[in-house]
Each structure stands twice: as structure tokens, then as C-alpha cells.
Chain A
């Protein structure tokens, strides 16, 4: 069974540019998460979906971040415009029965 797939794995952009990350969860997992992970820290939740509904987006900086999961399967996280402080690893995860599985992450560098 395929795990959580994320792309790209690495992205380098200049500040003020837009960037998008894609995630395909494990088949059948209704719950999808986007996390931000800064160096040396644990994952911080940005947004959680139950099927196509965003049920927890309280930590998502909505002035520049947006996310969608239109058909309740794969999801896209966008930043526009990116700032220097957005440099981090963006992790996607999906869960079933309270067991969460992570993708490899996208490492974003903003110059």
C-alpha cells in the first residue's frame, strides 16, 4: 500500500513569489493534515480536513496561506506571497482510527 505522497520534495523560491505543495493521502483516509515543522521543533498544525471540509484551520495564516481538498482526496497548500520566515518543512499526514501517517515533507527555502 502506498504511503502519503508529497511533491515537490524541495522548493527554493524568492520572497514574494507564490508556491504550492501537493499531497495525496493514503487511500481511504478521510482525515488529512498539513503541518509546519521548523528546524529542531515538532510539527505544528496548519489545517485539518475531514473529507473535503476544513474542520480546524485556526492556525493557518489566512492572509497568505490557503488550502483546498476539493474532492476529499488529494490536497494543495499554497503560500502567496512567500516570506523569508516561511522557510520550513511542510508535512502532510493522513489518519484512520486515530493512527496518523506522514509523508516525507516538502522543504521550502525562501531567499
Chain B
């Protein structure tokens, strides 16, 4: 069945370090892919998305490229800030509006 696998956290980085959070997926069709971010006590917020192979989603310095050949959608940021500390979820959807979420990766950024 369809599923999303994320790297386990927590990930702890110093401010201005490079971030990569790995995400791979399994899907029977051609899904759209998403990254969501969740800050403490809040709901999930859409961070970026990509709807077809080789698309690059980007927002607030974060980027992810839809790689069909490796079924991956890794999240990257060149220089993280303390304010990026949150939990990040990879997700996919295709077909009948059913979303599949990874288990989340907690990011801690230290000053």
C-alpha cells in the first residue's frame, strides 16, 4: 500500500548548519508530495509541495525535489535558524484525496 518513511529524529543542529531530512515514499500511482511543519501546540502547516517528477518545491529557504527514480522527497535548507525548530512531516496524496503522513522528524536548532 501507499506509505511514507522519514528519518527518525531528533535532529540537532547548530544555527547556520545545513539541514537534510530524508523522506521516501511508496505509491501505486503518481502522487503529489508535501512537507508540513508543526510548531508546539499548533496544527500542521504546509511548508512546500511538488506535484510531479523533477518538480522542486521551495518556501522560506527550504527546498525538496520530487525524485521519481529514487522515490524520494528529501527536505533541505542551507542555513537553519533557531526558529526552524519544529517537527517536520512528509506526506503524499494521490487519487481520492487520501493523505499519507510520515511519523515526523523533530528538529532542534541550537544557538
Question: Contact residues of A with B, CB < 8 Å?
Answer: 4, 6, 31, 33, 40-43, 45, 48, 50, 55-56, 91, 93, 95, 98-105, 107
- CB-CB under 8 A from A6, the residues of chain B are 43
A49→B32 CA distance, assembly (Å): 20
Q: Is B97 an interface residue (CB 8 A)?
A: yes
Q: Secondary structure of the B side of the interface?
A: strand
**CB-based contact A99/B46 at 8 Å:** yes
- CB-CB under 8 A from A91, the residues of chain B are 43-44
- CB-CB under 8 A from B94, the residues of chain A are 98
Give chain B interface residues in 22-39, CB to chain A under 8 Å: 32, 34, 36
Nearest Cβ in chain A — how far from B11, in angstroms?
Answer: 14
**Mind listing 13 A-B residue pairs with CB under 8 Å?**
A4-B43, A41-B104, A42-B102, A45-B99, A48-B98, A56-B98, A91-B43, A95-B99, A98-B97, A100-B34, A100-B91, A102-B45, A104-B42
A101→B43 CA distance, assembly (Å): 9
Nearest Cβ in chain B — how far from A54, in angstroms?
Answer: 13
Q: Is B49 an interface residue (CB 8 A)?
A: yes
A107→B43 CA distance, assembly (Å): 11
- CB-CB under 8 A from A105, the residues of chain B are 42-43
Question: Contact residues of B with A, CB < 8 Å?
Answer: 32, 34, 36, 41-46, 49, 51, 89, 91, 93-94, 96-99, 101-104, 106
CB contact between B99 and one of A4, A40, A50, A100 (< 8 Å): that residue: A100
**CB-based contact B104/A100 at 8 Å:** no
**CB-based contact A43/B101 at 8 Å:** yes
- CB-CB under 8 A from B44, the residues of chain A are 43, 91, 93, 102
A100→B49 CA distance, assembly (Å): 11
**CB-based contact B98/A100 at 8 Å:** no
- CB-CB under 8 A from B96, the residues of chain A are 55-56
